[in-house]
Amino acid sequence: MGSEMCIRDSNQEDKMMTAVPKRKFLSGIALVATLALPFGATHAGDTIKIGGMAPLSSPGSYQQGPELVLGLEWAVADVNAAGGVLGKQVELIVEDTQGRPPTGATVVEKLITKDKVVAAAGEYHSSVCKAEIEVFHQHGIPFVIGSCWSDALTDAGYDEVFRTSVYSSKLAENMVAVMAANGIKKAASLVEDTDYGIGIAKNIENAIKKLNADIDFQYEVVEKTSKDFVPILLKYKTQVKPEVLIVAVTQPGGFLILKQAHEIRFAPTAETLYLDGTCTAQNDKVFWEAVKDAGNYVLMSCPYSPSVKLTDLGEKIKKRYIDKFDRQPNYLPLQGYDAMISLLTAIKNAGSTDSKAIIKALQELKIAGTRGDIEFSQEDGVWHHQWKAVPTFIFQYTKVGQSAGDAAVLFPKQFATAGIARP
């Protein structure tokens, strides 16, 4: 067997950066990486260094971050096991961005100037991505976004920035299309005070106009760290009376909103549907433990549905995940894997670690990813360096404790298994 991974612990080299948390690798992976190195394997000076960023501690979405990083790690492991890139092993240096934009900018600067990475992939929070792309752009270093959804990231038009994850305007159009198809005339939303949250609200407004949908829509911006959403939920219930409540607030705030909406018998009910725009059911076990029976009849807007067959590569990654964790993967390991494998393939195709050569190779890339054939659009605006055909789904739970793989698929039409159900 070839080496599974070559990873450097940046803690040992940068004691001065103690204020910036470092990646704590998932159980067993770092040890395997060390033990798997074959005799005569390359050392640090002979590696190609790649950066990875994700929230691994609070106030960031620390439950999601490790899932995304797992995909980055597995892509590196597979490439290294196959002989590496350009005759060298890939060295992945992962930094914890804590969900904080300033921290994201700081660790990216470190990765580029101190660690000398030739490129990077990852990140979850759009607001953090927004800060990071400015640093990558300043240094001319390519960055493949793993899971930041804000349209503004690709709309910036930076040559260095590519994205394999979904984008907010696509998700918004999906939600509006489903609402219109089901005769919904009034919708209300709670969105977090971030680039992602406010962005998706604006995208829904734009989608309503674009699709000429007869939907009255309003939204309120809330602090994602809030603990009490009852006042605004009661206002919506008694005064606005929407047919659907759309929530674009990441964990744990998203869980709290669902539980509180359920407790006051607002949504999901026969009168008001509950549509989660952040795919908080990223882990069935975590979701049901957090929300219990409040999750029944919830609609989820997600980049992945376990009931829909993946590519051959995706099915292999899915099996690996199930074998390791005894549960279905969510979309994050798949997005992380796609971002990293796209980047490493581009470096291979470029035959060089030169930034401009990598960027050109990414622009010309055509590769089978975990969720479909990946290639990046060269159009201006939100589609600039965006994987336009990235898959998206809307599904609905109809039983407490139900797995996402057993949930009814509502969108897209070619995968639909049922219509909307109500309590």
Helical residues (DSSP H) of 195-270, grouped into ranges: 195-210, 230-235, 253-263
Domain that holds residue 240: 168-302+392-415
- Over residues 190-228, the pLDDT tens digits come to 999 988 899 999 999 999 999 999 999 999 999 988 999
Contacts of 220 (CB under 8 A, 6+ apart): 188, 189, 190, 191, 232
Q: What integer pLDDT is reported at residue 23 of this predicted model?
A: 45
Same-domain check for residues 85 and 15: yes
Query: What would the pLDDT profile of 113-171 be if each residue is shown by its tens digit?
Result: 999 999 999 999 999 999 999 999 999 999 999 999 999 999 999 999 999 999 999 99
Same domain, 204 and 246: yes
pLDDT > 90? residue 251: no
Rounded distance between C-alpha atoms, residue 256 and residue 175, angstroms: 22
Q: Does residue 16 sit within a domain?
A: yes
Domain shared by 253 and 345, yes or no: no
Bridge partners (DSSP) of residue 373 are 368
Quick one: pLDDT at residue 62? 87
Give me the CATH number covering residue 258: 3.40.50.2300
Asked whether residue 198 falls in the same domain as residue 243, the answer is yes
Number of folded domains that form the chain: 2
From residue 83, alpha-carbon distances to 29, 47, 352 in Å are 19, 12, 16
Least confident of 35-49, 176-190, 336-350, 394-408: 35-49
Q: Give the pLDDT band (50/70/90) at residue 286.
A: confident
Residue 423 belongs to some domain of the structure: no
DSSP H or E run through 344: helix 331-350
Residue 401 in domain: yes
Sequence-separated (6 or more) residues with CB below 8 Å from residue 261: 229, 233, 245, 267, 268, 274, 294
Do 72 and 339 touch, CB atoms closer than 8 A? yes
Per-residue pLDDT tens digits for 377-404: 999 999 999 999 999 999 999 999 998 8
The rounded percent of the chain whose pLDDT value lies above 90 is 80
CA angle 201, 207, 213 (to 5 degrees): 115
Q: How do residues 4-62 score in pLDDT, each as one tens digit? A: 334 443 333 333 333 334 443 333 333 233 223 332 333 346 999 999 999 999 998 88
Which whole-number Å values give the CA distances from 98 to 19, 23, 123, 390, in the listed order?
A: 11, 11, 10, 27
- Nearest in space to 337 (alpha carbons), one of 372, 303, 375, 369: 369
Element (H, E) at 91: strand 90-96
Q: Are residues 291 and 370 in the same domain?
A: no
pLDDT-derived band at 252, boundaries 50, 70, 90: confident
Name the pLDDT band for 343 (thresholds 50, 70, 90): very high
Closest CA to 233 of 257, 197, 249: 257
Evaluate whether 193 touches 226 at the Cβ level (below 8 Å).
no
For 31, list phi and psi in degrees, rounded to 5. -65, -45
Domain identity same for 273 and 408: yes
Within a domain: residue 43?
yes
* E strands present in 183-325: 186-192, 216-222, 244-248, 273-276, 299-302
74 with 116, same domain: the answer is: yes
Domain match, 261 and 295 both: yes
Same-domain check for residues 182 and 269: yes
Whole-angstrom distance, CA of residue 414 vs CA of residue 118: 40
What mean pLDDT comes out for the span 351-369? 98
Position 83 in a domain: yes
**What CA–CA distance (Å, rounded) separates 335 from 354?**
25
What pLDDT shows up at residue 45?
A: 61
Which of 285-290's residues contact partners 24+ apart within 8 Å by CB, and which partners?
285/327, 286/63, 287/255, 288/400, 288/401, 290/251, 290/252, 290/255, 290/259
**Cα separation, 237 vs 239, whole angstroms:** 6
Q: Is residue 1 situated within a structural domain?
A: no
- 140 DSSP 8-state letter: T
Neighbours of 177 (CB within 10 A): 17
**What percentage of the chain exceeds 70 in pLDDT?**
89
Q: Are residues 222 and 345 in the same domain?
A: no
The pLDDT of residue 1 is: 37
Domain presence at residue 420: no
My answer on whether 60 and 110 are in the same domain is yes
Q: Which amino acid type is present at position 190?
A: L
Other CB atoms within a 10 A radius of the CB of residue 32 amount to: 14
Q: 203: closest CA among 246, 158, 252?
A: 246
- What is the C-alpha to C-alpha distance for residues 310 and 393, in angstroms, rounded to an integer? 13
- 54 membership: H or E segment, kind and range: strand 48-54
pTM as predicted: 0.84
Within a domain: residue 366? yes
Measured over the CA atoms of residue 74, residue 75, residue 78 and residue 81, the dihedral's sign is: negative
Distance CA 287, CA 105 (A): 31
Residues 96, 20: contact at Cβ < 8 Å?
Answer: yes
Nearest to 277 by CA among 364, 344, 370, 198: 198
Residues 84 and 107 placed together within one structural domain of the fold: yes
**Does position 245 have pLDDT exceeding 60, yes or no?**
yes
